[in-house]
Amino acid sequence: MLFPKQMSEVELIVPSKDLVAVTRALSGYGVFHQVDSANLGLEGLAQNTWSEKAGAFSALERRIQTIMQIVGLAEEYPARPGMDTMVDLDATRPVVDRIDDDVKGVSDQLSGEKKRLELLESQLRQLEPIAEVNVEVGALNKSPFMHSILGIVPSANITRLRTSLLRVPHVFFTLREDPQKPVVWILGPKSNFDVLERAAKSAYLNPLSLPEEFNGTPEQITAMLRKEIETSKQKIAALEADLAKKGASYKSELEKLLWDVHISRVMADAIVRFGQLRHTYVVVGWVPTEDLGDLTARLKEASREILIETMETSRSGHHANIPVALTNNKWLKPIQELVTTFGRPSYGELDPTLLIALTFPILYGAMFGDLGQGLILILVGILAHNRIFMKGLQGLGLLLVYCGFFASIFGYLYGSIFGFEGHLIEEYLHFHFEPTWMSPLENILTILGLAIDAGIVILFFGYLLGLFNNIRSRDWAHFWFGHTGIVALIFYFSFLWILDGLLGDTPIAPKVAAAISELPLPFSSLVLVFGGLVMFSGFFRNMVEGHTLIEGKGFSGFAMFLVQSFMDLFETTISMLSNTLSFVRVGAFAVAHGGLSLAIFSLAGEEPGLRFWITILIGNIFIIGFEGLIVYIQTMRLHYYEILGKFFHGGGMQFEPLKLNPSQEEAKP
């Protein structure tokens, strides 16, 4: 739970005769992360044969998926799929061809009819604006000597259009009077075609194209088009029903074909990455140690002659090439997604999911403390998680529940329920509800100081976790001189003495800093000594790691080194100050939450009538939606910039096991 799963490296020598059976065992249970070992094999041993098979299986799988899409079937696998071996391409293709040919005829008819319907509807839309005009369409389209333009023009451009046509002979008709967009018909000699068209474009005339195959007035043609459209829709419905019947009849067969071809494609893709020898194959990969015994037993069942070599890997040191399999826990999944968005833990690194599962909801609740609104968040989270309401938030459903729970707890401590606080509760809700801790609005400076105190404690904990991770990775240079190393930790300890001197006489002075200042320690000397060590930390890191101590030569190189060292000290000091004071936002948002509620009450007025309660209802919806989102962003920012940055490096490789069923979990079924 606190660390990624222990991994073991596996190397296999597989006899050629057992290749498919072993591949099936490796890919059927979602526990084997394959490493490309093709470079370990011999060249020119028909490796391309498996590449061709993998390509053929992939193309066949896409064909089956297309057929299922055409007949309206979801891409599902059989309830009890068989997973014995790869299918024969030569035997499977004719089956797919037969179904495809049967479906394609109806599908092509349906596609053609839909295009025809689209054309008819487009023609109807063109004619509807002039449906009441009593003019023969043929007269507009079939004149051998006259050029005709029919269209809709903005009424403001009518004058411009008439002016543009003054120098050419023409006839201008307004077929439909409209205050905004009248329908006009322009008729002129064919010889003036270009002038007529330019004038129409300059007036932003939208031309109406009329169907040449119809004769009669627009009203008559419109009636015929509507009849044709109705007939076309009936044909489409009949063809869709025919496809649905075919889908129902082929459902089980297509699902089995999809599954068989899918597993064949997955196994062929895996074999392409095996190293091929003359009579054997070399397979390399990673397996969670807890699953190693079960996988080994399955491999020996698949091949009696297989050679298996395993090596458990220590979590200490650097292991950038080892995939990281996180513990799957559905209750922590939304928190885990927050962490992996920032970065995936490296193999030996502490997984901060459990820590964030505590700090994220608590900080959120402290900023959004309201008993009633917190309960609403819990309800919304439960409904979203179960896909009853706001299905798009399903992934965040449990996180909303956790944040809502702590918002309710802090609402109880703050004495706030749906924005009602103090005397407002007794006046409008008619029951007594006192803060069991404090009201942020009545103790503004106190809660700001407590927020800074909480931040100091969290930052200290982050420094300690950073040291812990450096010990595990044996990164001694950063353990001593890193930005969260021993030197930086002691400097931050001394820095709090300075912070207490700056804020000691103010109401927001953090009590933790005051307690540290009272310790009998020579803080002035500690600040100077460890400030100097922080300043030259890059020099000492290079010394421990065996790198060049100072880049550049001569006086200019040394001067640049001093400037860079001073900037390191300045950046570290500013970072410590900003990280510490950044937590004041926790108290500030708690105060702002109460202030926003008071603003809603100011809008509602004092009389508890219908208008009052509607305003309160809308105000609470606004606070839960808008401020709830803002607080979520601020809580995430605190974790990404202030908390995780102190100890979490990330950069781990994702564990991507071979698996036949795409719905398998990351570790094991």
**pLDDT tens-place string over residues 327-344:** 878 889 999 999 999 988
Question: Measuring CA to CA, which residue among 92, 405, 42, 481 is closest to residue 259?
Answer: 92
What integer pLDDT is reported at residue 210 of this predicted model? 63
Tokens of 323: 């995939």
Lowest-confidence segment of 4-8, 209-213, 253-257 by average pLDDT: 209-213
Tell me: pLDDT of 647 over 50: yes
Partners of 417 in the beta sheet?
420
Query: Average pLDDT of 171-197?
Result: 83
334 CB-contact burial (10 Å; exposed 0-12 / middle 13-18 / buried 19+): buried
Kindly state the percentage of the chain with pLDDT values over 70: 93
Q: How confident is the model at residue 312 (pLDDT cuts 50, 70, 90)?
A: confident
Q: What is the pLDDT of residue 382?
A: 94
The mean-pLDDT minimum among 52-61, 66-75, 125-134, 403-412 falls in 125-134
Number of H helices, E strands in the chain: 24, 13
Q: Identify the burial level of 175 via C-beta atoms within 10 angstroms of its C-beta, where 0-12 means exposed, 13-18 middle and 19 or more buried.
A: middle
Has residue 380 got a pLDDT over 80?
yes
Q: Is the pLDDT of residue 253 over 50?
A: yes
How high does pLDDT run on average in the chain?
Answer: 87
- Residue pair 133/176 in contact (Cβ under 8 Å)? The answer is yes
Q: Which residue has the higher pLDDT, 46 or 409?
A: 409
Please give the pLDDT value at position 669: 35
The three-state secondary structure class of 624 is helix
Has residue 141 got a pLDDT over 70? no
Q: What is the pTM of this model?
A: 0.76
Tens digits of per-residue pLDDT, 549-588? 777 666 777 788 888 889 989 999 999 999 999 999 999 9
Q: Does residue 126 carry a pLDDT above 80?
A: no
pLDDT classification of 140: cutoffs 50, 70, 90: low
Residue 537 main-chain phi, psi, to 5 deg: -60, -35
Q: Beta strand 33-35 with 280-288: parallel, antiparallel or unpaired?
A: antiparallel
Structure tokens at 134: 């009593």
Query: What's the pLDDT at 81?
Result: 60
Six token digits for residue 536: 């030259």
Which pLDDT belongs to residue 667? Answer: 37
Residues 96-123: what's their mean pLDDT?
Answer: 90
Using CA atoms, how far apart are residues 451 and 446, in angstroms rounded to an integer?
A: 9
Strand partners, 243: none
Q: What is the CATH number of domain 135-216?
A: 3.30.70.2750
User: Distance between terminal CA atoms of the chain?
Assistant: 18
Q: What SS3 string covers 326-381?
A: CCCCCCCHHHHHHHHHHCCCCCCCCCCHHHHHHHHHHHHHHHCCCHHHHHHHHHHH
- pLDDT for res 399: 94
Query: For residue 639, what pLDDT is reported?
Result: 94
Confidence tier at 644 by pLDDT (50, 70, 90)? very high
> With contact defined as beta carbons under 8 Å apart, do 403 and 416 qualify?
no
Q: Is 654:354 a contact under the CB 8 Å cutoff?
A: no
Predicted confidence at residue 87, as pLDDT, reads 87
Q: How sure is the predictor about 395, in pLDDT bands with cuts at 50, 70 and 90?
A: confident
Q: What is the three-class DSSP state of 667?
A: coil
Interatomic CA distance for residues 467 and 478, integer angstroms: 8
Residue 214 pLDDT > 50, yes or no?
yes
146-152 and 307-312 strand pairing: unpaired
φ and ψ at 453, to 5 degrees? -60, -45
> Cα–Cα distance between 513 and 452 in angstroms, integer?
10
Q: Is the dihedral of CA 521, 524, 525, 529 positive or negative?
A: positive
Q: What are phi and psi of 286, to 5 degrees?
A: -125, 145
- On whether the CB atoms of residues 6 and 315 are closer than 8 A, the answer is yes
Reported as a pLDDT band with limits 50, 70 and 90, residue 297 is very high
Q: What is the pLDDT of residue 84?
A: 62
Helices 89-127 and 218-272, axial angle in degrees (round to 10): 150
Q: How confident is the model at residue 146 (pLDDT cuts 50, 70, 90)?
A: confident
Poorest-confidence range of 128-137, 186-195, 480-489? 128-137
- Give the residue extent of every domain in the chain: 7-101+241-323, 135-216, 444-582
pLDDT at 666: 42
pLDDT, average across residues 97-120 = 91
Amino acid 370: pLDDT: 95
Of the candidate ranges 169-178, 529-538, 610-619, the one whose mean pLDDT is the lowest: 169-178
Beta strand pairing call for 323-324 and 653-654: parallel
Task: Taking residues 135-145, report their average pLDDT.
Answer: 64
Q: With b meaning 16 or more CB within 10 Å and e meaning fewer, what string describes 240-259?
A: bebbeebbeebeeebbbbbb
Which residue in 381, 415, 412 sits closest to 398, CA to CA?
381
Segments in 415-506 forming alpha helices (H):
423-424, 444-473, 476-481, 486-503
Residue range 42-81, pLDDT digits in tens: 765 555 688 889 999 999 999 999 999 999 888 877 765 6
Phi, psi of 323 (to 5 degrees): -65, 150
Q: What is the pLDDT of residue 668?
A: 40
